[in-house]
Structure 1
C-alpha cells in the first residue's frame, strides 16, 4: 500500500515556481549573504521557520507582504530595495489557476428614485 502511494506521488510532477518567486528568492538569499546571516538566524529574527526561509529562497513559497517586510527589516533593506533588481522579471501569470465554481448570487436590480 505504501509503495503504491509513493509511486503515485512520483508520477505527478510538482508545479514550476513562477519566475518572480524564483527571482525574489534569489534576491533574498543575496541580501542574507550580504549581511552574513544564516537561514536560521534570519528565520528567528523574522519570526518564521527556517524551512520557510529555505522555501522562499527556492521560489516555492509565496510569502505575505508582512513576512517580506519582516525579512527586509532583519536584512536592513526596504521593500523597494528588495524588489528593485527584479525589474526585468516577467510578471505575466504562469500556470493554470483553480476556477471559481461557486454559482454567483442572483443580482436584483432596483431603480434609484
Structure 2
C-alpha cells in the first residue's frame, strides 16, 4: 500500500516532467511564476515536474506559451517509446437490452 504523497510514476510522464522543469529553469521562472502565468496551481506544476500529474494538451500548450516554446519544442528532445507502458481499462460493462415497442 502506498503512503501519503507516493504515486505510481509513468515513464512518459517522468520524462516529460524532467523536460518541463529544464525548460522552466532555462526560462528563468519559478514554479510560482509559471503557475500564475499558466493559470494553474503551483502544486500542479510540481506534480507535472515530478511525473505524477497527467496534464491535458491544452494545459501543456498554455505552459509552453508562458515559457516561450512550442509543444513540438517541448517534446522534440524526448526519447519516448510509443509502446504502451501501463495497463489500460477495458470496458466490461454490457449495455442494457433495448426493448422496442410498436407505436399504433
Number of aligned residue pairs: give it: 96
Structure that is richer in helix per residue: 1
Mark the CA change 1:9 to 1:58 in structure 2 (over 3 Å): closer, same or farther: closer
Mark the CA change 1:105 to 1:83 in structure 2 (over 3 Å): closer, same or farther: farther
In 2, Cα distance between equivalents of 1:66 and 1:37: 20
Runs of 4+ deviating beyond 4 Å:
none
Mark the CA change 1:52 to 1:14 in structure 2 (over 3 Å): closer, same or farther: closer
TM-score (norm 2): 0.81
Correspondence 1:61-76 to 2 at 5 A: 61-76=53-68
TM-align CA RMSD: 2.0
Question: 1:102: which partner in 2?
Answer: 93
Q: How far did residue 89 of structure 1 move?
A: 1.6
Q: Provide structure 1 residue ranges, at least 5 long, that are not aligned to the other structure.
A: 1-7, 107-113
Correspondence 1:45 to 2:37: yes
TM-score (norm 1): 0.75
In 1, Cα distance between equivalents of 2:68 and 2:27: 8
Question: 1:80: which partner in 2?
Answer: 72
